[in-house]
Amino acid sequence: MRFDILTIFPDFFSSPLAEGMIRRAVQDGLVLIQTHNIRDYATDKHAMTDDRPFGGGEGMVMKPEPLAAAVEQARGSGVDARVVLLTPQGRTLDQQLAEELAGEEQLILVCGRYEGVDERFRAAYVDLEVSIGDYILTGGEPAALVLLDSVIRLLPGVLGCGDSAENDTFSRGSRGGLKYPQYTRPRIFAGREVPEVLLSGDHAAIERWRFLAAVRRTISRRPELVAAMEFTPAERKLLRENDISLPPAGNGGE
């Protein structure tokens, strides 16, 4: 999969792209990531990528011409690329969207700045607007890194364990809820012991414990997620037997 990042601060990505999972994915040839300095596509002698807004007002607006030229250059591979603008006005990034984007051949990530981008560029070139949350950043660069990480880890061969992404919090394996608590050595830490069932070797009992613990944690921490989770009749019976009450709607999956 190919990623092209359009930014006025390409050095922002130097260290993150050279570390951990992303570095390994690049080295293994699973992804190709290129950064493009939007200033290189400006046409004036000062390499301006922003200007004052028509109609007045605070701040600056990113000019359409350099952005458009950078997108056209990034599309040079001939692949049907999807242009994504990182903006607080976009669709909120969640696991479903990450999975959707992981199916693309090429993503062109446009890092917005200042008061945003010229609306004409958005209308003519942008296929999808994405936000990573209801808060404001100084630019789209941190959001682009979050999107990169969330998508790349879903690509085949990137993670060491193929089931890791499938069973993560918010993933299909967790029914869109939170994952169960995790424990490792030592058996006792700060006076707290690992649940005995996890040491029993009884895999069926362990799976039941993890299922119940995950549902309890989701109800406690993110109750709004529970209504969309689906359970089999046997699972609903197990929940009732353990005095776990579910919201009335959205639990009818057979």
Give the residue numbers marked as catalytic: 88, 115, 153, 168
Instruction: Quote the DSSP letter at residue 210.
Output: H
- Residue 102: count of CB within 10 angstroms of its CB: 18
Structure tokens at 158: 């990137």
Structure tokens at 89: 């006005």
Nearest to 102 by CA among 88, 124, 84: 84
Query: What are the residues whose beta carbons fall under 8 Å from the beta carbon of 104, sequence distance 6 or more?
Result: 1, 81, 82
Q: Which amino acid is at 50?
A: D
Q: How far apart are CA 51 and CA 182, in angstroms?
A: 51
Structure tokens at 170: 């918010």
Query: What are the residues whose beta carbons fall under 8 Å from the beta carbon of 48, sequence distance 6 or more?
Result: 42, 63
Q: How far apart are CA 126 and CA 121, in angstroms?
A: 7
E strands, 118-226, are 128-131, 188-189, 192-193
> Which segments of the chain does DSSP mark as H helices, in order?
20-27, 64-74, 95-101, 119-125, 141-152, 203-221, 223-226, 233-241
Instruction: Quote the DSSP letter at residue 192.
Output: E
Q: How far apart are CA 96 and CA 138, in angstroms?
A: 26
